[in-house]
């Protein structure tokens, strides 16, 4: 399905009965909806949820800008999910966001609370300025940002998948990555993407002035899911969110990194299903 919004065409996928409670899944930076894997969505839909996932601009099948030249702002990534809900005729939804998607979810919950039933924040950090001082990324992950890696020939499928696979490794938790499953996932990402290098445009976006809003303004039920081995946002980020959002639940998963791999679904899904029941 295509949803046209403010000069962009977004690729959207739904699973389940539209009469069931809507759960909108919002992925992180430079990541397409493929990372909300189909079996995960199907299990959520089987529990009586109308599951919605989509490709951000510059990912998957959505509108692509030239690499290094994003034709949109960070604010557009915040309003896009609301446009998708409008297109689907969904007045209010449960929002689930991972990493950057968790930041988007927090902003919507603060700025447009009438559209939100509940929120689930996975591997993310509090939005806004003035919060507690939190630890930075791990030294090992920081070192990877300092490496001078040549990009692959993006037209070479196997070379591109190998490059992306190496990008995955530093974000995995103590269990590492399932190479076979990750290669298959990255193959789906490659095959669906209009322009893979354009996804990195997300990291060039000007965030503008820090939002004065803080998580303590969130007034809907909230679930925070965080791993003990997250190298980008160490566990204190999730703990801070759970403290700041009134009444928030905290689910800590031992060994989980900056990810939602299949081995963690049996811990994530029951709590997510409980959070996203009928309003």
What are the residue numbers of the active site?
99, 230, 258
CA-wise closest residue to 260 among 79, 110, 47, 43: 43
Helix H, strand E, coil C: the string for 184-236 is HHHHHHHHHCCCHHHHHHHHHCCCCCCCCCCHHHCCCCEEEEEECCCCCCCHH
DSSP for 149-166, written as a single string: PPPP-TT-HHHHHHHHHH
Rg (CA), the chain: 18
Instruction: Give the Å distances, CA to CA, from 225 to 64, 74, 109, 271.
Output: 31, 24, 17, 9
Q: How far apart are CA 125 and CA 275, in angstroms?
A: 20
CB 93 within 8 A of CB 116: yes
Instruction: Give the Å distances, CA to CA, from 241 to 233, 235, 237.
Output: 12, 10, 6
Give the largest CA-CA distance in the chain.
50
Judged by DSSP in three states, 257 sits in coil
Strand order across the beta sheet in which 249-253 lies: 2-5, 8-15, 50-54, 22-26, 93-98, 116-122, 222-227, 249-253
């Amino acid at each position: 399905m295509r949803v046209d919004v403010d000069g962009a065409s977004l690729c959207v996928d739904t699973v389940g009965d539209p009469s069931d409670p809507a759960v909108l899944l919002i992925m992180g930076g430079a990541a397409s909806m493929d990372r909300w894997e189909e079996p995960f969505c199907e299990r959520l839909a089987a529990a009586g949820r109308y599951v919605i996932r989509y490709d951000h601009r510059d990912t998957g099948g959505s509108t692509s800008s030239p690499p290094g030249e994003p034709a949109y702002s960070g604010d557009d990534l915040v309003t896009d999910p609301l446009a998708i809900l409008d297109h689907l005729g969904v007045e209010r939804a449960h929002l689930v966001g991972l990493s950057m998607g968790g930041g988007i979810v927090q902003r919507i919950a603060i700025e447009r609370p009438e559209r939100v039933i509940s929120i689930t924040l996975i591997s993310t950090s509090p939005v806004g300025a003035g919060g507690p001082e939190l630890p930075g990324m791990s030294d090992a992950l920081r070192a990877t940002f300092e490496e001078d890696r040549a990009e692959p020939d993006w037209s070479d499928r196997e070379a591109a998948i190998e490059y992306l696979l190496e990008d995955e490794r530093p974000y995995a938790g103590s269990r590492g990555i399932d190479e076979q499953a990750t290669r298959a996932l990255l193959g789906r990402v490659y095959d669906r993407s209009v322009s893979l290098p354009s996804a990195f445009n997300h990291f060039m976006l000007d965030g503008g002035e820090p939002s004065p809003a803080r998580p303590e303004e969130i007034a809907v039920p909230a679930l925070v899911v965080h791993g003990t081995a997250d190298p980008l946002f160490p566990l204190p980020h999730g703990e801070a969110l759970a403290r700041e959002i009134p009444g928030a639940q905290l689910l800590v998963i031992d060994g989980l990194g900056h990810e939602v791999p299949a081995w963690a679904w049996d811990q994530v899904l029951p709590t997510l299903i409980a959070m996203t029941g009928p309003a």
